[in-house]
Every structure is written in C-alpha cells, then in structure tokens.
Amino acid sequence: MAYVLINTEEFDPQLTKALKDIKGVEEVYPLYGVYDIIVKTKAETMNMLKETHDKIRKSKKVRQTLTMIAHEM
C-alpha cells in the first residue's frame, strides 16, 4: 500500500475522476495546503505499484508527486 501526494497545475475535478479509474487506485481525496490531491494505492507487487504510480505521474495536469510506501503491521 502507498499514498501519493500530488501537486497539480490547477485543481480539476476531472483529474480526480481520472485518477479513480487507474487500476490499483483505491481512494482519491482533494486537499487544502501544500498538496492538491492524495491518492491511496494498493498492489500485490512492487512492479504493479510502480505501474500504477507511473500512470498517476503521466496524468494530465499532474506537476509533481511524493510517494510514501506503507508497510502493514
């Protein structure tokens, strides 16, 4: 599981909708503050996680991302 903080060129509700459609994305929330959107992702392998995050980064209007990989206890 990982969380991705996203900076966008400008907030666009269509972007949040598009992010929800990416395989591996579980939740998407707009934010107030330094980052514009947070995305929760989940994948069975690190390669699948990388593929999901590559699709997020290639989305239109995504300027910058910060990924935090969490481990389950």
Please list the alpha-helical segments (H only) found in the chain: 13-20, 46-58
Q: Confidence band (pLDDT; 50, 70, 90) for 73?
A: confident
Q: What is the pLDDT of residues 36-65, one digit of tens each?
A: 999 999 999 999 999 999 999 999 999 999
What domains sit in the chain, N to C, each tagged with a CATH number?
2-69 (3.30.70.920)
Whether pLDDT at 10 is above 80: yes
User: Around Cβ 3, how many Cβ atoms within 10 Å?
Assistant: 14
Is residue 61 within 8 Å of residue 8, measured between CB atoms?
Answer: yes
Q: Where are the beta strands (DSSP E) in the chain?
A: 2-8, 25-30, 37-41, 62-69
